[in-house]
Structure 1
Amino acid sequence: MIEQKTDTISVIIPTFNRAWTLKRAVDSALAQDYPHREIIVVDDGSTDGTRDLLAGYKDKIRVLVQENKGVSAARNLGIQESQGSFIALLDSDDAWETNKLSCQAAFFQSKPGAMICQTEEIWIRNGKRVNPKKKHKKPSGMIFEPSLKLCLVSPSAVMIRKQLFEQKGVFNEDFPVCEDYDLWLRVSHDTPVYLIDTPLTVKTGGHGDQLSAGHSQDKYRIQSILNLIESNVLSADQEQVALNVFKEKCRIFANGCMKRGREKEGAYYLMLAAGNK
């Protein structure tokens, strides 16, 4: 177990109009065999039956309510109000195996210098289990370069020392999607992200209300890489790799804009790809 002075894990579950699946997430957090935890659900202005559902848990959980500001703001409020030294994020459409927290707690006990780790996942799409593609294979350790092309860290799978947010900042509230990609790049350029190679997180997708379904993710990944390059925290080698991926994503996004008749936007991203701003 984590030593007594830092043994509390704060579980943060952001939700917006997810009453239909939220109960499974909350129940999986309550079912954890790790006893020293608090469960914080942040209701991001839901208008369905979320409040009634959460009221039924009484003092088993803490409920924070805010006007609808997005998942980043909801997670950030939970982090701000948390009491634990460790943060475990759980999306409202995902769930955990009962030993997820205890396995990660044991990992941090065995590796006290670690700041963040994640577990492997079971993927469910449209009600059926699917196998992740090879490109989605999670690396362990210094994962910055492979993480530039696509997000290789899942919010529901991570556990993070709270002090890491103090060092790297929290989720970017200007990003409606890819806010996790943005944070993991800020973290992973100089911090190992370790993998517990056991599937303890059940990641569910395919439903119509997923945020990624309504936004172009590459647009926000481009902005995230640009912000990171301009922050001057990367080594020369990291900056060159990031710049190469940045240009590639700009070209791909620009071509997509052109095909959809958005010539002005496409021309702008082609200009970025050429190294002009």
Structure 2
Amino acid sequence: MRTQCIISVVIPFTGNPDFLEQAISSAIQQTFPHFEILLIDNLAKKDAVDCALFWVRKYPEKIRIVSEQKKGAAAARNCGIRESRGEFVAFLDSDDRMKPDRLSTQWELLRDNPEISLVGSWKDSISPDGKTVLEMDVKPQVPKWASILFRDDLRFSEDPLFEPQTSTFFFRKETSLRIGLFDENFDPFWLEDTDFVLRMYQQGQVSILSQSLIEYRTHSTQDELQRIYDFKNIENHGLFFEKLKRTYLDRRKSRVFEKFKKLSSRWLREAGTKIAWFSGGKNISEVLISRALKNDWSDIRNWEYPIRFLLPTSIWPTPFGKLPTKPLTLPPHINREWAENYLAF
């Protein structure tokens, strides 16, 4: 018999059945009784699908598996939201774990506060193998881009835009449908969650519970390097910048225009720093960093970085202090023309 469903827990998965096993196990042990678990098969490996099916057979009244053939975090989460039966939706990434009172705690807050559009929480960071807690009660931060664009905004000063970990997202299904769900142009991933949080913030308050409700699995050193130098991250910053322009850029207001110049400068410098380490990327990097300086003369790093790139590679700046461990190849369409138009306005 199907149980009453108030909350739908959405867990997209692609691989690593051991991590998925832990995620599902943590979800099924919730103290809140009225929930379902939707496992979104996003072109997953067979062993991961077998793991999911095991749990479906074990708890057929609680757990369903749904297939999403379009690869990507946004597409998978959208599938879960559409298929959900609950009034409320909770996300959990397949490599993270939730604490037993996660659903009840977030549900009580959102149920009693209709002005809130999205609830997040603190998190505990755990080791890649999940055996060690590395840091407890990690608080979400206000992203730097939001501090730049909204620093003079009255609402932002009283109600800052925090960006919680995706596995802590808890919201009303109706609100997510109203904003058009996740933007699948960001797929396979990068900034799709940032864009979603911003649009939820436009609907109401993003509230952060001051307690850790999930365990967030950190990445291995190799996975972290791959993520740092993933070119899709650079391209999706461009996509997000275009969306910010359409919503907030008013050329008639000089202060707003200057904020966009400062934001573009920061992201141009960050992109240029990464691209310099790609094969054939030095010339592209020089264009981006030159534009960063032009857009913001006040940032000392925009003067420092061009000088350091004239010196031996041991002196070059590196993203997050991390050097690539294998050769990096630029996508074929990345050339000087692309560099001159990236983050332009």
Letter in 2 for 1:266: S
CA distance in 2, matches of 1:45, 1:167: 27
Out of 118-127 and 171-180, give the one that drifted further. 171-180
Larger Rg: 2
Change (3 A) 1:50 1:256: closer
Residue 198 in structure 1 maps to residue 211 in structure 2: yes
- The question of whether the paired residues in 1 share the 8 Å contact of 2:88 and 2:173 is answered with yes
User: Using the alignment, how far apart are the partners of 1:218 and 1:151 within structure 2?
Assistant: 22
User: How far 1:98 sits from its partner (Å)?
Assistant: 0.3
Assess, with a 3 A threshold, how the Cα gap between structure 1 residues 29 and 214 changes in structure 2: closer, same or farther.
farther
In structure 1, the partner of 2:227 is 212
In 2, distance between residues paired with 1:185 and 1:113?
15
Deviation (angstroms), 1:182:
2.2
Q: Which amino acid aligns with 2:146?
A: E
Q: TM-score scaled to structure 1, two decimals?
A: 0.82
Runs of 4+ in 1 over 6 A off after TM superposition: 236-239
2:89 matched to which residue of 1? 87
Q: Give the corresponding residue for 1:160.
A: 171
Alpha-carbon spacing, 1:190–1:139, altered in 2? closer, same or farther (3 Å): farther
| 1:229 match | 245
Distance 1:238 1:137 in 2: 29
Measure, in 1, the Cα distance between the counterparts of 2:196 and 2:84: 19
What SS does structure 2 have at the residue aligned with 1:153? coil
What is the aligned counterpart of 1:30 among 28, 31, 35?
28
Shift of 1:76: 1.0
1:106-154 deviations in whole A, cap 9, x for unaligned? 1113323211111110001334322389xx74259x9982498x98321
8 Å Cα contact 2:68-2:75 kept in structure 1: no
Q: Which residue of the other structure, out of 247, 254, 262, is the alignment partner of 2:281?
A: 262
RMSD: 3.5
Q: What do residues 79-112 of structure 1 show as CA deviations (whole Å, max 9, x unaligned)?
A: 1111112110000000111000000111113323
Change (3 A) 1:200 1:160: same
Q: Tell me if 1:115 matches 2:117.
A: yes
Segments of structure 1 that go 5 or more residues without pairing to the other structure are 1-5
Query: Are the equivalent residues in 1 in contact too, given 2:110–2:171 (CA < 8 A)?
Result: no
Counterpart CA distance in 2 for 1:147 and 1:121 is 25
Q: 5+ residue gaps in structure 2?
A: 150-160, 296-343
Residue type of the alignment partner of 1:262: G
What's the CA shift for 1:167?
2.8
Larger deviation: 150-159 or 23-32? 150-159
State the alpha-carbon separation in 2 of the partners of residues 81 and 226 from structure 1.
30
CA shift at 1:250, angstroms?
1.4
TM-score, with structure 2 as normaliser: 0.67
Give the 3-state SS of the residue equivalent to 1:198 in structure 2: strand
Change (3 A) 1:100 1:220: same
Q: Which residue of 2 aligns with 1:39?
A: 37
Give me the whole-angstrom Cα distance separating, in 2, the residues matched to 1:209 and 1:16: 16
Aligned partners of 1:189 and 1:50: how far apart in 2? 37
Q: Assess if the C-alpha contact under 8 Å between 1:143 and 1:188 holds in 2.
A: no
Question: Number of aligned pairs?
Answer: 269
